[in-house]
Amino acid sequence: MLYYLFKWLHQAYNVPGAGMFQFISFRSAFALITSLFISMIIGKTLIRFLRNKQVGETVRDLGLEGQNSKQGTPTMGGLIILAAILIPTLLFAKLQNIYIILVLIATIWLGFIGFIDDYIKVFKKDKKGLPGKIKVLGQIGLGLIVGFTMYFNSHIVIKEKIREQAYVPSQEIFNVESSTEKGRLFSKDEIKSMKTTIPFIKHNEFDYSWLVSWISPGAVKYTWLVFIPIVIFIIISVSNGANLTDGLDGLATSTSAIIGVTLGVLAYVSGNTIIAGYLNIMYIPNTGELDIYIAAFVGACIGFLWYNSYPAQVFMGDTGSLALGGIIAVFAIIIRKEIMIPIFCGVFVIENLSVVLQVSYFKYTKKKFGEGRRIFRMSPLHHHYQKLGYHEAKIVMRFMIVGIMLAVLTIVTLKIR
């Protein structure tokens, strides 16, 4: 909203400084600062409110060191994260941008599902919360929205045309919005494409239509029958991966912040004609605007860490964890980097995988030997290290280091292939 206000002030009255709001880099910085401020201010107020209402965490006895100290810690703190993401985005982003609308829908959609789950656990005193099938149905619903939107509004500018025709004055190189607008000159070269990015491959593009084109050339129009189930699977997997990772103070929040920075870099280069041409990657019009959203996302995570780092004063609950994972998945799909999720979301993936392996192996050995056996002392993986005697603060720090390494690896794939 402030974007439109200052744009009008700049055009109508030439107010000094108002033109700065045309720059995505400027608005991203303000979104980050605003998000940090909101999360810290709202966080303190909400924690006090939750304590007064005795909205505390009920801890299951898992035999883990220090878990009893968490009993009664306020939960549903994901509301802090949601507010710190939504408010700066509404203030600083171009709200008619289809991709901004899509990530806002994902944030509210999954945040609402998580909130209902937490509400049932806390206020209805039902530890099971929202039935798993209902959660999955909600995630499928979001997957359908994202899948159909991306299929019918998915455009790129072919790389050869960027190199041959793109011209943006040097002083505007870092004005992503100007670059994006200049990109509109290539509207005749924009193509509706179902291509995505494959890391480490020289010609690093994969077209989903290839999955159906072998049937017949006319089958390409049914690519959505393959693409949408893939989108649904990604959203369910990453959302649940973030939910499983949320088991130690600051773990899900810190790893999500690192992933957010990575996605911000990828969105920036994909939405800028000059940088996309230099890196020889697909230029995706209008994705640069997503940097405002992801800046607010990172700020919300870091601000929440102020209260969620060890020892935690508040837990995000499913209100936060389901939303964080879903946002990351949708964002990656929009900027055509979903195949890279196993790299930059490596922490989520390994947490998810540890649960799948543990459960599968237990059922297999119970059926074959009559006694269930385990691969890990406990799953998800962070609990395995707790059982080995590691302090949770050390586990979180080491998972963060792994997350940073994976983030760097993801970014270098832009050039190393």
Classify burial at 108, counting beta carbons within 10 Å of its beta carbon; exposed 0-12, middle 13-18, buried 19 or more. middle
Q: What is the DSSP letter of 337?
A: -
C-alpha 168, offset from chain centre: 30
The residues near 378 (Cβ < 8 Å, ≥ 6 apart) are 62, 64, 384, 386, 387
Reported pTM: 0.88
Q: What's the pLDDT score for residue 60? A: 60
The token duo for 318 is 């499913």
Q: Which ranges in 153-289 belong to alpha helices (H)?
A: 159-165, 176-183, 210-213, 224-245, 251-270, 273-279
- The two beta strands, 195-197 and 205-207, are antiparallel
pLDDT of 64 above 80: no
On average, the pLDDT of the chain sits at: 84
Reported as a single tens digit per residue, the pLDDT across 260-297 is 999 999 999 998 888 888 888 888 888 889 999 999 99
Position 5 scores a pLDDT of 73
Residue 70 clears pLDDT 60, i.e. is over it: yes
Lowest mean pLDDT among 107-121, 129-143, 166-180, 374-388: 166-180
389 Ramachandran zone, left/alpha/beta (phi>0; psi -120 to 50): left
- CA pair distance 389, 374, nearest whole angstrom: 18
How confident is the model over 379-407, as a mean pLDDT? 93
**Torsion angle in degrees (nearest 10) through CA of 269, 324, 298, 391:** -120
Provide the terminal-to-terminal Cα distance of the chain, rounded to the nearest Å: 41
Residue 188 confidence (pLDDT): 45
Average pLDDT over residues 344-356: 94
Give the pLDDT confidence of 184-228 residue by residue, as tens digits.
Answer: 434 444 566 788 888 888 877 888 888 888 787 778 888 888 999
With CA atoms as reference, report the closest residue to 341 among 417, 253, 237.
237
Rounded Cα distance between 259 and 266, Å, is 11
